[in-house]
Structure 1
Amino acid sequence: MHTWEWSDWRNGVVWWLQSVFVEPEFRRRGVFRLLYETLRSQARNDERVVGLRLYVEGDNRGAQATYARLGMSSSGYTVMEELFTESAERG
């Protein structure tokens, strides 16, 4: 799945790859590469889109290496969050 956001800094739309997971028995068979290259092709054909992004766990070196081979690089951002675990905290 992909979502999008407007990037003020890039003056365009960035597509986010979301919830990417390949079952272990299907890894290293080009499943993610095909998905990524298809999405990249669609993004490059849309003049509004200025790039692709995704989240990856800091210690997931295998995934990071895969993404780097496909042309991605670290953005340098660290994600900060506050998660609410109980609905009472939302009030």
Structure 2
Amino acid sequence: MIRIRDAVPDDSDSLVEFNAAMALETENMVLDPATLRAGVAALLAQPQRGFYLVAEDAGIVIGCLMITHEWSDWRNGDWWWLQSVYVRADYRRHGVFRTLYADVEQRARRTEGVIGLRLYVERDNARAQRTYAALGMQPTHYAIYHQTF
């Protein structure tokens, strides 16, 4: 049975492992382990930045996602961004992400000031896009741009 809970510092090794695997799998990017570990620790230590949820099966962490906040002055509320989504390969297609998403959606609906959920997905990741659509999410007309420092 899949159980969802807030991540705690003892989950750091799993979160680092999953983030590194996700970056390599989806973007063919190798993340610096020290920077990644520091980033995971920073979020866990500063809940105003967001939070991680983990999915467990029989006490084993099998998936995770991170929520960060974006203030919208147009709507006077926070968007919750789903990021760092990962499910272990041997647990994919078993409802792990669906269970994580359901938990996030319930939390968001109960949290005053949260106006919705957002995420970004690789343009070529059709499987993920179908999953998000099946959960009721819709594509936006926005493209994301960035500048890295």
1:29 counterpart residue number: 94
Deviations 1:15-55 (CA, angstroms, capped at 9, x unpaired): 01110011222111000000000010000011200000111
Which stretches of structure 1, 4 residues or more, deviate above 3 A after TM superposition? none
**How many residues end up aligned between the 2 structures?**
84
**Structure with more contact order per residue of length (Cα contacts < 8 Å, sep ≥ 6):** 1
TM-score scaled by length of structure 1: 0.85
Matched, 1:50 2:115: yes
Pairing of 1:1-91 with structure 2 (within 5 A): 1-84=66-149
TM-score scaled by length of structure 2: 0.54
* Percent of residue pairs identical: 57
Aligned letter for 2:130? A
- Which structure carries more strand by proportion? 2
Give the Cα separation in 2 of the matches to 1:76 and 1:21.
25
Displacement of 1:11 = 2.2
- Which structure carries more helix by proportion? 2
What's the C-alpha RMSD, in Å, of the aligned pairs? 1.1
Give the Cα separation in 1 of the matches to 2:125 and 2:67.
21
Give the Cα separation in 1 of the matches to 2:119 and 2:71.
15
